[in-house]
Amino acid sequence: MIEIPYNVEAREETGLYNAKLGVWIFLASEIMLFGGLFSAYILLRVGSPVWPPNGADLSIPLATLNTFNLILSSWTIVKSWIALKENDFSGFKKFMLITLLCSLVFMVIKYIEYTSKFSHGIFPSTDNFYGIYFTLTGLHGLHVIGGLILNFYLWGPGAKMWKTEPERFTNRVEVAGLYWHFVDLVWIFLFPVLYLLN
């Protein structure tokens, strides 16, 4: 069996192990994706004499609760990684479970927001504001779902690696945390731009 180097120890050239280097490259591409969409938002807003065109009916209290959920989940995923660094597997399980629950609450609230809009006849085709709103929040929601799946795997079946390769498992949780912080950071920009500055 061929062993791939730098799964645990850092590469000399970069100071990063393979997975951490890979996730930073992936996150750079994600920044470009969301950067393009934020640029589209700016162009639509600057080019519109009235913004939002037909008035916006977004729930600031629900979005604020979602912001709190994601900030809390960022803290708990760090705590889960710290627990592994301190050889506390049960602490990892507890904090990762809280991260998962916060993520689920976020998605439930987005579901409530979306169904409310759809029931009132508001769709992405309604106007430019709702087009960019659904695009940005929908893409962000897909990233939350991706993080949920990854974190659930690490919390559940993937946690078996802790018994055989604890340092490599800890690295996986760290990389998942980097991705999750990116998802949270995108929301920190989405919240004021879409909900507060209209």
pLDDT by residue (tens digit) across 66-110? Answer: 999 999 999 999 999 999 999 999 999 999 999 999 999 999 999
Residues ≥6 apart with Cβ < 8 Å to 90: 83
Mean local confidence (pLDDT), 177-189: 97
- Record the pTM: 0.92
Long-range contacts at 163-171 (CB < 8 A, ≥ 24 apart): 165/8, 166/84, 166/87, 167/8, 168/7, 168/8, 169/84, 170/81, 170/84, 170/85, 171/7, 171/8, 171/17, 171/19, 171/20
> Which pLDDT does position 54 carry in this prediction?
79
| Residue range 111-130: mean pLDDT, rounded | 95
Residue 198: name the closest of 126, 128, 129, 116 by CA. 129
Exposed/middle/buried for residue 76 (C-beta within 10 Å: 0-12, 13-18, 19+): buried
Query: Residue 1's pLDDT band (boundaries 50, 70, 90)?
Result: low
| Element housing 189 (H / E) | helix 166-190
- Residue 8 pLDDT exceeds 90: no
- Burial environment of residue 187 by CB neighbours within 10 A (0 to 12, 13 to 18, 19 or more): buried
pLDDT at 169 over 70: yes
The most distant pair of C-alpha atoms in the chain lies apart, rounded to whole Å, by 64
